[in-house]
Structure 1
């Protein structure tokens, strides 16, 4: 019981007050560095090579707890001291990571209870990283000891500018008895009675009703999505509390002005793909001074820039438009990610185009053993200059020259994509044909990206005003309260444009299907109802209303047979059994419009649908008539001038007419309005336009 009480107390740390931390007012270019991993003593040589490549920052220490504290309470900071001395000598700044995501062997031996118990009931074995229970009191005590010792040791070193809290933090499926007990305590504080909870969660089904709190079962065996998704939300809150606890601890010991960040990672699908289901980034970022992100993506012929753009847009949005740090991205990466000539440079400036204040590779040089042997850094295992190092020297010189001007770019986007962790976990509880939430969301985001319409990523936890946007795209809002949906519908009533997709409004915030015609609380604003849905087989859109190829004119994964009440029909299904069913509708709602797509379109069809909504909402693309593979992104510089990053995501030269007179910053040449901007394969141009954008 004492262990449970301690765990509960640790899980409810109040958010600390954010200090006036300072991130350098320039663009940082960096690498993660591990003197602990190098095969020979070469820290000074590495620092010299970094300086020659324009590297201005390194991240250290986040992965090496077992080296920093070889035995409990016995510290060895020799590697840290060597790295700090070598980097400072070369004028390179340092971000120190708290080393808490990979526990030392002695901790697992002395306190085996720190190893996480996952839903299968089996305690994790030692070996891999992130195998611990982040709520365990013994883990927290050991983590606090090493954090305090490390921060106290490095805080006064002039090279240290900030701290990364933990690393890609998640709950790691923690669901053992102590966590289950703490979850029940959180429910007792939230729900007025068990009767109310039983009704909201529909627990009479299969005799799941809970009549005493002491009878509350483990969620691990649940067949009830209401219970499972409530527990998933609780697990996400553990991450928020854990990072707030670390931030408060580090701030109490850090030097004033040093910043706190965290390298959030994204939902993975062959790279950094969508929103992270295990962490509420919007809530977790509140304890930070600046958000950080890890962005990994395919390269070679699969390099589109969409993953870079989405990850950057999310990272910028989780702190309401604040610029962010890319704390990890690949240089060489997996064997299939070895970049073509020009791609490393294109990728670096693509990050800046989304608002990054730093681009940092994982990592400097490739490890010689263990599971990441083939996840290559900037250098390979020989530590010799290579093609990527040569490219980095060019990038580093350009960033050093232009960084002070490009830093602090702001954006005022006209479109938002509305995402929700609650909707994500609920949707993924009942995935049609195996697809998951991010696979629905990303094609709609990608459609905007490919037509050069920049977007923010907003969530129920965002504090941004919805009225800031002309168009809000809402993919698969499967679980949401009446109040949340009313907020969106009221935005449209005031003059905004909403685009809902299928499966939106289906359940309430407790993942309970509404006792109403679908799409539930959306039905009136959308002017449409439906009762039937199916998996499409042999279905197309009648008359090909969006002018796509025959192959692209077919719904996939899911379709709802829509019946308009007040809405106009934009598209109907073509199928002998459902000739009258609408596929997409549009409804006037107050001063605005609500469109509803009752099926999952192909990527090409999604582009056409989104393009039509963009036009109706009066949204202006970055540059009219320009689309992928020529991507144009930008914002407003500190001097008030508009800046445009022109990015060629193709292996063939591209060109466009300059929308305004200005200066191409990389080459330092003047550009006339309407004059040509020529780009080679995988090339980039940066145009600072003349005159203030305001």
Structure 2
């Protein structure tokens, strides 16, 4: 427990004092590389092949603690030295990962307490990320290997930065030590047990806690308030752990070397939504630059939406800062083998959202263990192939234009507001058989994406100013404080456009249902109330007000029977038993307006609703009149010029009209205003316009 409290203090200190670090002033193009895994001695050949393909950076070491430290305090850096030497000879830079996410066998044997205890019991050894990140013995062993590794590599000229751990989470750690630390945090937050019992509603089913000694393990809790407080505590463990590593690495690194972390996203067979187990906006503050791992469907299912969403989240973590894609797929799963052209399209799609680096996991496919069929840039024969050849074209392009593209900035006028607190609360009471928060969020994001309306992703911990935006979309803000909702409502009152969806404002920040007519603190600003809700069956909107047709003019998953007070009715439900209730409302609020959607629309209906909101807010898409499968993303280059990434996510040729005179940087071709930009299947053009950014 002492360790956790000390680390929390360190996190605050580091967040307020960021280190001075630098990235190369160009786009980095990379792979993860493991000399330890290769079937034969080929590090020199691999480095030469990387150089030939235009690879400029490799990430090493994060997966191989048991190889680096064979026994406690007995280190073998031969693989590290071989990789550093080979890469340096080819002019390739190196990011060194701290190898703490996969513990060695000797640590699990000598200190079995390092293996995480979850509600299902203590983990067995074997899988990665099976440790308790708060355990003192794990921390001591981690510190030893981190210090030894950083001291060994820090002065090598190839080393430009460090990745802290790997896709860090708390891994549902909930053993006795973590429960005790949680109780300590509750004592600090709630000096009075009466206050805690009231805020969390613990009188229900005799869950009341009358003395701190009686505080039970939350593993069996049926109380969402208590369970979600523990989930927030677990997220704080991740922030503290990364802060601890950041402090340790900075104390030993060479000045100018950067710190990053490869956060990952919520997962539905691929990167999908907000990560439930990490507060990215808090955890990223101890870094010099945020990093992300993004994986997505390919072939005919490649839309670019996951690339854009992951990029928008990561760029928004640090209020518009460029970021690193530390892992993305080259070949990946067998059903992800890219069509010709898709690898290029994917790489430049990352840059279009503000990435400063694109790196594949990994260089070559392994021959052993669980990821045998998760393929790298090379297949298991380690020979050049079609994917390697296409990657080489990306490397050649970035060698020419990478320095021009680096440092692009965005100024978006639409934001989506997300919340880990709301996510945990919503997912405690999933409607309609298991629909979760991210399944509500993503269709609203995807609608904006298809319309070429670029967005930032805000959270309660964002430092961005709400008034920098014209429209903020707030999906399913199920749990939020009065102050948080007032901040959003105030944005509308000052002239902004605010769109809430169903199940917003229902409970406070403690997942305690508001004792008020719903939607609680939103009701007055939205000019609407409701008392009844249901799961819709056969419910449509009266008169198909958005013109989507019978199939898509439907309510799904959840339905609130809205009663306007001051709001205008935009749409009403059509159902023989509920003919009078509003489904969508819009209310003037101060100088702005607040809209409320009382149900989950179909995807097609969401796009029409969002299009109307965008239009009312006076927001222009990146390229008006252009819709998916052509995606256009824009930004401002260091030289002040506007750059537009024009991308074709289809197997059919496409054409769009150039908005300004400029140059296609990929093809080194002059583009005249009003002339067509022709795109082949899965193709991309990057247009630097002659005029300044807007």
TM interval, short-chain normalised: over 0.9
Distance 1:566 1:10 in 2: 50
**Deviation of the 1:11 alpha carbon:** 5.0
In structure 1, the residue matched to 2:358 is 359
- Asked if structure 2 preserves the Cα contact closer than 8 Å seen for 1:423 and 1:478, the reply is yes
In structure 1, the residue matched to 2:410 is 411
**Deviation of the 1:6 alpha carbon:** 3.9
- After TM superposition, the structure 1 = structure 2 runs for residues 361-376 of structure 1, keeping only pairs within 5 Å, are 361-376=360-375
Q: Give yes or no for the alignment of 1:86 onto 2:86.
A: yes
The alignment of Structure 1 onto Structure 2 pairs a total of residues equal to 690
In structure 1, the residue matched to 2:34 is 34
In structure 2, the residue matched to 1:254 is 253
Distance 1:231 1:5 in 2: 18
**Deviation of the 1:269 alpha carbon:** 1.2
Q: Give yes or no for the alignment of 1:543 onto 2:543.
A: yes
- After TM superposition, the structure 1 = structure 2 runs for residues 523-562 of structure 1, keeping only pairs within 5 Å, are 523-562=523-562
Q: Give yes or no for the alignment of 1:199 onto 2:198.
A: yes
Q: Give yes or no for the alignment of 1:165 onto 2:135.
A: no
In structure 2, the residue matched to 1:388 is 387
- SS of 1:248's partner is helix
Distance 2:579 2:70 in 1: 71
Please give the per-residue CA displacement for 1:538-572, whole angstroms capped at 9, x wherever unaligned: 11111000000211111110000000000000010
- Asked if structure 1 preserves the Cα contact closer than 8 Å seen for 2:167 and 2:264, the reply is yes
In structure 2, the residue matched to 1:113 is 113
- SS of 2:346's partner is helix
In structure 1, the residue matched to 2:237 is 238
Consecutive unaligned residues in structure 1, runs of 5 or more? none
- SS of 1:55's partner is coil
- Asked if structure 1 preserves the Cα contact closer than 8 Å seen for 2:556 and 2:602, the reply is yes
In structure 2, the residue matched to 1:520 is 520
- Asked if structure 1 preserves the Cα contact closer than 8 Å seen for 2:635 and 2:693, the reply is no
**Deviation of the 1:270 alpha carbon:** 2.3
- SS of 1:445's partner is helix
- SS of 2:610's partner is helix
Q: Give yes or no for the alignment of 1:670 onto 2:667.
A: no
**Deviation of the 1:9 alpha carbon:** 3.4
Distance 2:239 2:326 in 1: 19
- SS of 1:23's partner is coil
- After TM superposition, the structure 1 = structure 2 runs for residues 290-305 of structure 1, keeping only pairs within 5 Å, are 290-305=289-304
In structure 2, the residue matched to 1:635 is 635
- Asked if structure 2 preserves the Cα contact closer than 8 Å seen for 1:492 and 1:498, the reply is yes
In structure 2, the residue matched to 1:680 is 680
**Deviation of the 1:350 alpha carbon:** 0.1
In structure 2, the residue matched to 1:226 is 225
Consecutive unaligned residues in structure 2, runs of 5 or more? none
Distance 1:11 1:137 in 2: 15
In structure 2, the residue matched to 1:431 is 430
Distance 1:68 1:484 in 2: 47
- SS of 2:572's partner is strand
Distance 2:606 2:179 in 1: 42
Distance 2:492 2:561 in 1: 24
Please give the per-residue CA displacement for 1:38-64, whole angstroms capped at 9, x wherever unaligned: 000000000000000000000000000
**Deviation of the 1:691 alpha carbon:** 1.9
- Asked if structure 1 preserves the Cα contact closer than 8 Å seen for 2:4 and 2:240, the reply is no
- SS of 1:578's partner is coil
**Deviation of the 1:7 alpha carbon:** 4.6
- SS of 1:186's partner is helix
Please give the per-residue CA displacement for 1:73-126, whole angstroms capped at 9, x wherever unaligned: 000000000000000000000000000000000000000000000022x10000
In structure 1, the residue matched to 2:496 is 496
- SS of 2:106's partner is helix
Distance 2:374 2:337 in 1: 10
In structure 2, the residue matched to 1:595 is 595
Distance 2:115 2:595 in 1: 48
Distance 1:207 1:189 in 2: 24
**Deviation of the 1:192 alpha carbon:** 2.5
Distance 2:436 2:37 in 1: 38
Please give the per-residue CA displacement for 1:430-469, whole angstroms capped at 9, x wherever unaligned: 0002100000000000011000000000000001000000
- SS of 2:109's partner is helix
Distance 1:570 1:463 in 2: 33
- Asked if structure 2 preserves the Cα contact closer than 8 Å seen for 1:646 and 1:686, the reply is yes
- Asked if structure 2 preserves the Cα contact closer than 8 Å seen for 1:651 and 1:681, the reply is yes
**Deviation of the 1:12 alpha carbon:** 4.4
In structure 1, the residue matched to 2:655 is 655
Distance 1:506 1:427 in 2: 10
Distance 1:9 1:129 in 2: 26
In structure 1, the residue matched to 2:644 is 644
Q: Give yes or no for the alignment of 1:574 onto 2:571.
A: no
| Residues 7 and 688 of structure 1: CA distance in aligned 2, closer, same or farther (over 3 Å) | closer
- Asked if structure 2 preserves the Cα contact closer than 8 Å seen for 1:324 and 1:357, the reply is yes
- SS of 2:117's partner is coil
Distance 1:10 1:295 in 2: 29
**Deviation of the 1:400 alpha carbon:** 1.1
- SS of 2:651's partner is coil
The normalised TM-score by structure 1 is 0.99
- SS of 1:25's partner is coil
In structure 1, the residue matched to 2:130 is 131
In structure 1, the residue matched to 2:273 is 274
- Asked if structure 2 preserves the Cα contact closer than 8 Å seen for 1:7 and 1:137, the reply is no
Q: Give yes or no for the alignment of 1:510 onto 2:510.
A: yes
In structure 2, the residue matched to 1:9 is 6
In structure 2, the residue matched to 1:56 is 56
- Asked if structure 1 preserves the Cα contact closer than 8 Å seen for 2:115 and 2:130, the reply is yes
In structure 2, the residue matched to 1:140 is 139
- Asked if structure 2 preserves the Cα contact closer than 8 Å seen for 1:10 and 1:135, the reply is no
Distance 1:496 1:526 in 2: 13
RMSD: 0.7
- Asked if structure 2 preserves the Cα contact closer than 8 Å seen for 1:413 and 1:469, the reply is yes
Distance 1:478 1:324 in 2: 30
- SS of 1:685's partner is strand
Distance 1:615 1:369 in 2: 54
- SS of 1:13's partner is helix
Distance 1:7 1:583 in 2: 47
- SS of 1:371's partner is coil
**Deviation of the 1:20 alpha carbon:** 1.1
The normalised TM-score by structure 2 is 0.99
- Asked if structure 1 preserves the Cα contact closer than 8 Å seen for 2:416 and 2:456, the reply is yes
Distance 1:54 1:633 in 2: 25
- SS of 2:551's partner is coil
In structure 1, the residue matched to 2:283 is 284
**Deviation of the 1:18 alpha carbon:** 1.6
In structure 2, the residue matched to 1:216 is 215
In structure 2, the residue matched to 1:455 is 455
- Asked if structure 2 preserves the Cα contact closer than 8 Å seen for 1:57 and 1:92, the reply is yes
Distance 1:624 1:201 in 2: 48
Distance 2:302 2:347 in 1: 13
Please give the per-residue CA displacement for 1:467-526, whole angstroms capped at 9, x wherever unaligned: 000000000000000000000000000000000000000000000100000000000000
**Deviation of the 1:165 alpha carbon:** 0.2
